[in-house]
Amino acid sequence: MPRRRFHQTYQLAQQIGCFDEYPAISEGVDPQVNISRSDRVQPFHLICEKDTMIVLMSGAAKVEFRQSSVNYVNGTPGEMIYVPARIPHRVVPSEETILYRYKAEHAGLEAVAWYCEGCASEVARVTWDTAEELPQEGYLRATAAFNSDQAMRTCDTCGKEHPPVDTTGNRWQEIIDELTAEADEDDDW
């Protein structure tokens, strides 16, 4: 689906998968607005170089924070949850949610990280530059590496081995293909 200046939220949400972070407005607008939908725990903690804002459009979710003075914020429709730069966070829905994430158009570095459920230490982290790699490419690459590497899933602090993460329900590869084709079309002009 081509990027437009504006989408109808609930119509677009029917085409969106789990934590897709699909760009909902055209390039050249700052901040960018990305839409996601989910009925399950985000498979990683997201870390953004710049501040972001999560706006819950439907459902209910908790946003969990690491390395922050705030442990979590519970959200209901219409709530805006500020996420400071470089703070690991993940969305934990208690029912199916639709959310917008506002990010800087030139978002800089992003990363995903996993934390030990036993001792709370960071287990693994994968970082990329959004100027060189789409967020969805980073998510796909990072979760594939995490799922295929037992050593990467093992906590260095307590030795607990973590199971592979569930990435079903996302459309990351489809979004990569779509946005890459769109960029190629723009290059033809």
Q: What is the pLDDT of residues 87-138, one digit of tens each?
A: 999 999 999 999 999 999 999 999 999 999 999 999 999 999 999 999 999 9
CATH classification at residue 66: 2.60.120.10
Domain that holds residue 165: 9-187
Tokens of 24: 């909902």
**Could you tell me the end-to-end alpha-carbon distance of the chain, in angstroms, rounded to an integer?**
20
The Cα 3–Cα 114 span in angstroms is: 31
Residue 111 pairs with which residues in a beta bridge? 47, 127
Residue 127: φ, ψ to 5°? -120, 150
Please check whether residue 127 lies inside any domain of the structure.
yes
pTM: 0.91
Please check whether residue 2 lies inside any domain of the structure.
no
List of residues 6+ apart from 159 with CB closer than 8 A: none
Query: Collapsing DSSP states into helix, strand and coil, what is residue 184?
Result: helix
The number of domains in the chain is 1
Q: What is the pLDDT of residues 139-165, one digit of tens each?
A: 999 999 999 999 999 999 999 999 999
The Cα 64–Cα 74 span in angstroms is: 9
